[in-house]
Structure 1
Amino acid sequence: MKRYSTDMGLNPLLLRISGELTTSNLWSLKFLCTGHVLLKDLERVNEAKDLFRCLCEKDVISKEDLSFLKELLFRIKRRDLLRNALDTTSEEMEKELQNNARISLYRLLLFSIAEDLLKNQVEHIIFLLRDTLPSNKLEKRTIFDILLEMETSDLLREDKLDSLKDLMKSVGRNDLMNKIKTFEVTRKVGPQQENCTDEKSHAQCERRQRESPSPLPEVEPQGSYMMRGETLGHCLIINNFDFEKSTTIRLKNRKGTEADAEALTEIFRRLRFTIDERKDLTAEAIRQTMESYRKTKIDKDNACFVCCVLSHGKRGTVYGTDGSEVPIKDLTAFFNGRNCPSLAGKPKVFFIQACQGHDPQHGVPVEEDSGDVYESDAHPMLSLPIDADFLVGMATVEDCESYRHIQTGSMYIRCLCDQLAIQCPRRVDLLTILTEVNKELASKVLVGKKQMPEFRTTLRKKLIFPVPLPDRNTLEAGESMDVST
């Protein structure tokens, strides 16, 4: 096979590779890309070049980051393309994937089962599923299609494998049934104990887990982002208070924002982030700060990036202190895989607490604390990144107000910091934490009004901050963590 030039452009390279792939290779690639590409988009893919186009559009593959493409070729055993097109050996990939695999162990389990099944066994499985799945979903389908349809029908998922085990038993594949059992055990005990290969090993693994629990394992929980290092990354806090010099629109100073900044500083410092607070930035200064971070602050050792924006805003934008707008989409774009390769495949988290700005800000008494005064805060930021590995948390849902205490900060930031302090020591993932934030804020009753936060995400794995924090009850009243709404 001809060896490709390493300085070939991305599109010509992908076109050459797609021309070398077989139909069965394409089925395999589509299945492995589930979770990275929407199923409706995968259904329209008939050629490898179409799949590569989807992956490029979602920034999963880029000229600066070919790691996912390499992993795909390695998984489908196209070592020739890996070597000749991407100048990478199997040995290099095996080493790389020990810590940086982007295809989940669950997806690889299903893939290995699909590859091991014989044609008559697949036909038997289709026959067994005829009363469970719609007949039109079973006709002329590959085993990959059947597995995806089982997932769509909620017959199959990472924590629901009984139906798959029953099918393997029915077609006489006890070896594959045991492989599933092994996965279930390693999923419970953690990836540091993955070499359980038979029934005796299963029992040993379970016994070790009971006798020697590891509340803070060095290895990340299966299916989670790698979060290691003396520091996990940067937490940039943009804290805009003084809007007296705003020229394009009249905006009030944001009383109480210092409490928000202090609370965020406290919690993310405990989570091993390097804190950088920038105060009273104009729109251009916000852009310059983002560009500076992209170029000079972020490196390959960063596991994560967090950005908290405390400012006025309107739907889809935040305001600089000069009253000029910065679209949220522009802020996140600085850190996508194309513009910031060091963060490719790593989580980028944005929390937005932005004031509405041009509507009157009336004090709102709170039923359970009627002596306090709140101001309205923030239309939601709904221009969200299409890139992978982003999470944007917003103070409120579309067209609704949120509230900021004029002395002690916003309801949203307080609740967020409280839940991070409580849940992170328990190894709870960030999406679950934000769901608790939604639940808590939704239960608060304002006079005639409610507040409902929202988050949008393209995270591909669980995001767990692996740092033990003191129990919330041990913190003394009046500390900066104890922000009130």
Structure 2
Amino acid sequence: MASQGLSSSSDKNCKVNFRERLLIIDSELGAKDVEQLKFLCRDFVSPKKLETCRSALDIFDLLLAAELLSEEDCFFLAELLYILDWKSLLKHLNYTKGQVESLLPTQRKVSLFRNLLYELSEDIVPENLQRMIFLLGDSIPKSPMTSLGLLSYLEKQGKIDEDNLTLLKDLCKKIVPKLVEKIEKYKGEKAAELVTLPVEKETESLYQAEEELFSRSDTTKFLTALQEEPCENEHTRSNGDRATNGALASVSMIPASVTLGASPNTLNSEASAKEVAVYKMNGKHRGHCVIVNNHKFTSASLSDRPGTNRDAESLMRVFQWLGFTVHKHDDVTHARMETVLQEQKSRPDHADGDCFVFCVLTHGRYEVYSSDGVPILIENILSHFTAQQCPGLTGKPKLFFIQACQGKAIQPSAPVEADAMNPEGTFPPLEYRIPIKADFLLGLSTVPGYLSFRHMEEGSWYIQSLCKRLKNLVLREDILSILTAVNRDVSLQADIHGIKKQMPQFANTLRKKVVFPVPPRALQW
């Protein structure tokens, strides 16, 4: 008992000492540093919460609550201080400048895009800032703003993002030409950061090429859509998931009292805490990915789905790249679907795999349709893979992605179709479709009651964005962060008339983060 008391006291002193070091760091940082920290953290903490921060300590509290900062892992704060050129403060986190520089290539969290905006803001002097504001005219508020404030405003309004720097580049060309070099350098670094895939042409921007749904210039009409503040899920935060922008579409179903399956003794060690945070991805094989791709339907009430083969091909290549064994089934009848589900849940090699993925591309409402027109409840598909039904997947992440309408269709103009059957009635909330079991994630291409759109040649908005974001972000983000980026992509799309919109949604009972390590052989592609 005495040793337990001593250990508890020692742990408490450690935490006090760590907070004392944070207090020292706070005392060195001024108001400008606080604003810059808020800007650099906006991809990880709700902007609404950051707005209320008046000191670095307020920001540190948010980072501690989101488990982005701790005594055991304070690298994110070290990275922030390094970016702000406060290298003298790194010693309070037990880092040196050289150590941070050596770890940044593999552990950095701040994106290249946010780094670029910060660097540009530092190089825009007040005189040049006023000139930029003058050129932008009435599109910018008349209230005084800093260079960082201007860039933040342009980003918030959707006028610039990581893939669209045209406006910013034009401003720099006219006012501060030397900054164009930094933008070009960013583009090169971003291109080098992305791993080239055979799927490149299938998953590149949906806003380019004349034959596609609409051009990049057309999207400027719709960039003001869905600018709501993100909603944070306290259950997710309490279970160690990072708070991410766009959490409105994520519904965590793990109660706040859940301890992630670890005993108090286990959680005392740093190694065990890290084990709890991320699902293991070091099995004999990554796992199986099943793709049900319904293109042609024998039911008179269901039309064919041109463009779905593009989605299926993109999913195949991305998940093969991630190390999965992919099984694609085309035009699956109700009987065949039951056979596929039975085969997959009975696979003995699930025990040696890391994860399981199941994708359904078809017509739907709150259920999905087989190629012979039989409705299949989504929750019935998922129920085949609970611990009771499929013991080999116990404790492993099971990811389901559904491209199908979730509500009543309207008659769209070509080349856009709706994956729906014109159903009537109400729709159960998304969370009711997931079994009340751990380790499930369900991603839907649209929210219940609404349409999901598919380009008849290039594939669906949702699946193409999912493949693109998996390819681009998998090296540095977990699956929930990736799906949040997909939500943003799809929410900003519209048909050529700017009328038809779509908002994906996902819900989960995940207990840890899902992070896919790309197989070494794939990194050489």
Shorter-normalised TM-score: what interval? Answer: 0.5 to 0.7
Aligned-residue identity in percent: 37
Contact 2:405 2:446 in 1 (8 A): no
Query: Structure 2 vs 1, CA of residues 188 and 287 (structure 1 numbering), >3 Å: closer, same or farther?
Result: farther
- CA shift, 1:228, in A, is 2.1
* Mapping 1:270-349, distance limit 5 Å: 270-296=321-347, 298-315=349-366, 317-349=367-399
> CA RMSD for the aligned pairs?
4.1
Q: Deviations over 1:63-108 (max 9, x none)?
A: xxxxxxxxxxxxxx9xxxxxxxxxxxxxxxxxxxxxxxxxxxxxxx
* Mapping 1:164-243, distance limit 5 Å: 181-184=71-74, 203=94, 208=99, 210-211=101-102, 215=106, 223-229=277-283, 231-243=285-297
Contact 2:308 2:460 in 1 (8 A): yes
Secondary structure, aligned partner of 2:399: strand
1:430 corresponds to which residue? 479
1:261 corresponds to which residue? 312
Query: Structure 2 vs 1, CA of residues 211 and 329 (structure 1 numbering), >3 Å: closer, same or farther?
Result: same
* Mapping 1:11-160, distance limit 5 Å: 113=8, 157=65, 159=67
Secondary structure, aligned partner of 1:304: strand
Are 1:397 and 2:443 matched, yes or no? no
Query: Structure 2 vs 1, CA of residues 278 and 159 (structure 1 numbering), >3 Å: closer, same or farther?
Result: same
Secondary structure, aligned partner of 1:417: helix
Runs of 4+ in 1 over 6 A off after TM superposition: 114-118, 186-189, 199-202, 219-222, 468-471
- CA shift, 1:230, in A, is 5.9
Query: Structure 2 vs 1, CA of residues 295 and 184 (structure 1 numbering), >3 Å: closer, same or farther?
Result: same
Contact 1:361 1:375 in 2 (8 A): no
Query: Structure 2 vs 1, CA of residues 186 and 443 (structure 1 numbering), >3 Å: closer, same or farther?
Result: closer
Query: Structure 2 vs 1, CA of residues 436 and 204 (structure 1 numbering), >3 Å: closer, same or farther?
Result: closer
Query: Structure 2 vs 1, CA of residues 266 and 257 (structure 1 numbering), >3 Å: closer, same or farther?
Result: same
**TM-score, length-scaled by structure 1:** 0.52
- CA shift, 1:306, in A, is 0.4
Query: Structure 2 vs 1, CA of residues 233 and 282 (structure 1 numbering), >3 Å: closer, same or farther?
Result: same
- CA shift, 1:300, in A, is 1.3
Gaps of 5+ in 1: 1-76, 78-111, 122-152, 162-179, 190-198, 366-372, 476-485
Query: Structure 2 vs 1, CA of residues 222 and 377 (structure 1 numbering), >3 Å: closer, same or farther?
Result: same
The structure 1 residue matched to 2:491, chosen from 442, 462, 474, is 442
Q: Deviations over 1:182-234 (max 9, x none)?
A: 45469989xxxxxxxxx9996369854543556399x9887111112463111
- CA shift, 1:419, in A, is 0.9
Question: Which range is displaced more, 220-229 or 302-311?
Answer: 220-229
Contact 1:238 1:309 in 2 (8 A): yes
Secondary structure, aligned partner of 1:352: strand
Query: Structure 2 vs 1, CA of residues 402 and 320 (structure 1 numbering), >3 Å: closer, same or farther?
Result: same
- CA shift, 1:236, in A, is 0.3
Contact 1:312 1:356 in 2 (8 A): no
The structure 1 residue matched to 2:416, chosen from 370, 374, 379, is 374
Q: Deviations over 1:149-176 (max 9, x none)?
A: xxxx979625377xxxxxxxxxxxxxxx
2:27 corresponds to which residue? none
2:230 corresponds to which residue? none
Which structure has more RCO (C-alpha within 8 Å, separation ≥ 6)? 2
- CA shift, 1:361, in A, is 6.3
What is the CA–CA distance in structure 2 between the aligned matches of 1:351 and 1:469, rounded to whole Å? 26
- CA shift, 1:253, in A, is 1.5
**TM-score, length-scaled by structure 2:** 0.48
What is the CA–CA distance in structure 2 between the aligned matches of 1:356 and 1:200, rounded to whole Å? 54
Secondary structure, aligned partner of 2:411: coil
- CA shift, 1:436, in A, is 0.8
2:34 corresponds to which residue? none
- CA shift, 1:451, in A, is 0.7
Q: Deviations over 1:105-164 (max 9, x none)?
A: xxxxxxx7599779xx9xxxxxxxxxxxxxxxxxxxxxxxxxxxxxxx979625377xxx
What is the CA–CA distance in structure 1 between the aligned matches of 2:411 and 2:78, rounded to whole Å? 51
Secondary structure, aligned partner of 2:281: coil
- CA shift, 1:284, in A, is 2.5
- CA shift, 1:391, in A, is 0.8
Count how many residue pairs are aligned between Structure 1 and Structure 2.
291
Gaps of 5+ in 2: 17-60, 80-89, 109-270
What is the CA–CA distance in structure 2 between the aligned matches of 1:298 and 1:221, rounded to whole Å? 23
What is the CA–CA distance in structure 1 between the aligned matches of 2:434 and 2:326, rounded to whole Å? 24
